[in-house]
Structure 1
Amino acid sequence: MLSIVDNPRRTAVLQRVLPSGSYVGLARRLVERSALLYARAWVVLLSGVFEPLFYVLAFKIGFGALVPAVTGPGGLRLEYAAYVAPALLVASAMNGAVSETMSMFYKLRFDGLYDSVLATPLGTYDVAIGELSWTVLRSGLYAVAFFAVMAVLGLVTTPWALLLVPVALVVSMAFAAVGMVCATLLRSSAQFEYIHLLVVPMFLFSGTFYSIDVYPLPLRWVAELSPLYHGVELARGFSTGVLGTAMLGHAAYLVALTAVGLYGTSKRIGRLLLN
């Protein structure tokens, strides 16, 4: 099992760029640990594969019978299931990333895992990148399952739709990076409600089920700040094959958020456990 950055050349670059001792290129060890743990609880991973089936079937058979064709990117007329499915794919990646990174709270506050890890040659960026890598790998499994269900139901109509899985991985990275920072800030499990207070409105009001054009201008600006909105726009564009330069901005937003989250996670872990 390899981590996202388990490449000697990239490792050497990161070691020169990041602060001395914070990254030694062993992030894959945390990925291997997580993979071994979930190998014993494979039913937990398998259960997440069924989620996309229920979601897409509900909109294909249920809501799709009530909602007529809607206008998608580029003015295309789409059946409602084809409009919603790519958005649900990235929303599923968001939920999976947030759920996984919240387990970091227990590893940090109760298990003492990172105290033990930082007593080894691994640095704080190894911890951040290792946890991020595992979260993305797990979300990738769900994204592939979701895409397979879309294909079986006839919701994949262009070769560009193959990029839905990479889009889900980028969305997962962004939310995992920010989620890890949040996990280091929480002081009790009761504070998980604060995370849900942010995630649920994003799921409902970031263009997942309808275009944000229906909002008045100030609310539209707020919706455009949501990372999920940028993921939904990317996914919907690739799903329909309607591409534009705005997609570069959506991707840049998510990548920048990932970088900020990784930096913040490393600093927080170092402050909590090393200072």
Structure 2
Amino acid sequence: MALVSVAVGRSAARPLGAGEATGLLLYRNYLAYRRAWYIFLTGFLEPVFYLFSIGVGVGQLVTGFEFNGHEIPYAEFVAPGMLATSAMNGAVLDATFNFFFKLKYNKLFDQLLATPLTTADIARGELSWSLLRGGIYSAGFLVVMVAMGLASSWWALLAVPAALLIGLCFGALGMALTTYMRSWQDFEWVNLAMMPMFLFSATFFPLSAYPTGVAWVVEATPLYRGVVLCRELTTGTLSWASAVSVVYLVVLGAVGLALVRRRLDALLLT
């Protein structure tokens, strides 16, 4: 933390650039987590266990599904969905629970605003850390997929950048919604939203398995867009759905980030 203080102190006479401010906040979070690295394993292992229990275990009973005109084994169908879920979990954990603690309890953001940092810097820095955490989860999970032979295309290398887009969307929206929360009890709504989104994201079954009305709702969820994007990349069967997913996730992420900044202005500067 001393290095952060020195760096900020040297910049007291001038505004910090966006990249410099983001780097300082990333370093601050690194220092806070470096002795608790094992926490990262929890978000990574959960989707791995799902993959082994459902993708591999149930996959012995299911022959597979057709995806974009190609028949793929069930485990290969499920794995990209769990990859997208890894990115979501990593981003949401930091963007909700940890963000709420910093905002409401240890008043970290109030202290940061006493330096040349702005609310926009805080929003970008916290979102960048959420992206980093989600990216680590996703990269580790992709290694597991490759080791198990569940990535059949070189396009799978782009699954990590795709996971970062998923993290951008969920991290920004998660922080925005967290600014409206009043107590820890409100986080029950986070679980209430994430669990159905996970179960109805076409991770375990194709979209055609749902009734038409339900399918329309599923297609509008950000996790489904992430699942489609990762599945097309890992199987090498790209379509316009990937482009739609990229635009959708970027737009939601930008909207969420703008809302976070406005809410932090209202909560911390007034």
TM-score with structure 1 setting the length: 0.88
Q: Distance in 2 between matches of 1:193 and 1:149?
A: 31
Q: Which amino acid aligns with 2:56?
A: I
Q: 2:181 aligns with which of 163, 166, 186?
A: 186
1:111 maps to which of 106, 109, 118: 106
Determine the C-alpha separation between the residues in 2 that align with 1:207 and 1:116.
Answer: 43
| CA distance in structure 2 between the aligned counterparts of 1:53 and 1:203, rounded to whole angstroms | 15
Shift of 1:53: 3.3
Q: Is the 8 Å Cα contact of residues 132 and 177 (structure 1) preserved in structure 2?
A: yes
State whether residues 150 and 156 of structure 1, in contact with CA within 8 Å, keep that contact through their aligned partners in structure 2: yes
Q: Hey, what does 1:241 align to over in structure 2?
A: 236
Structure 1 residue 44 displacement after superposition: 1.4
The runs of at least 4 consecutive aligned structure 1 residues that moved more than 4 Å come to 20-25
What CA deviation, in whole Å up to 9, does each residue of 1:139-160 have, x standing for no partner?
Answer: 1111111001111111111101
Aligned: 1:101 with 2:95: yes
Cα distance between partner residues in 1 of 2:164 and 2:60:
31
The percentage of counterpart residues that share the same residue type is 44
Aligned pair in 2 of structure 1 residues 238, 120: CA closer, same or farther (>3 Å)?
same
The answer to whether residue 156 in structure 2 is matched with residue 161 in structure 1 is yes
Aligned to 2:27: 32
For the 8 Å contact 1:23–1:122, the answer to whether it is kept is no
What's the CA shift for 1:22?
11
* Matching of residues 164-243 of structure 1 within 5 Å: 164-243=159-238
Partner of 1:3: none
Equivalent position of 1:80 in the other structure: 74
Which AA in structure 1 matches 2:36? A
| Unaligned ranges ≥5, structure 2 | 1-14
Matched, 1:251 2:246: yes
CA RMSD of aligned residues (A): 1.8
Distance, in Å, in 2 between the alignment partners of 1:131 and 1:159 is: 32
What amino acid does structure 2 have at the position aligned with 1:87? Answer: G
Q: In 1, distance between residues paired with 2:74 and 2:231? A: 12
Contact residue 84 and residue 209 of structure 1 kept, 8 A:
yes
Segment of structure 1 superposing worse, 243-252 or 213-222? 213-222
CA distance in 2 between partners of 1:22 and 1:221 (Å): 42
Structure 2 counterpart of 1:269, from 260, 264, 267: 264
TM-score of the two chains, using structure 2 as the length reference: 0.90
Query: Contact 1:22–1:125 at 8 Å: present in 2 too?
Result: no
Contact 1:22 1:122 (8 Å CA) reproduced = no
Query: Is the CA contact 2:123–2:260 (under 8 Å) kept in the aligned structure 1?
Result: yes
Describe the SS at the equivalent of 1:26: helix
Determine helix, strand or coil for the equivalent of 1:37: helix
Instruction: Give deviations 1:89-133, integer Å, cap 9, x for gaps.
Output: 001211221111111111111110010111111111101100010
Amino acid at match of 1:96: G
Aligned AA (2:219): E
Q: Are the aligned partners of 1:101 and 1:176 in contact in 2 as well (CA < 8 Å)? A: yes
Task: Please report how far the alpha carbon of residue 162 of structure 1 lies from its aligned counterpart in structure 2 after TM superposition.
Answer: 1.1
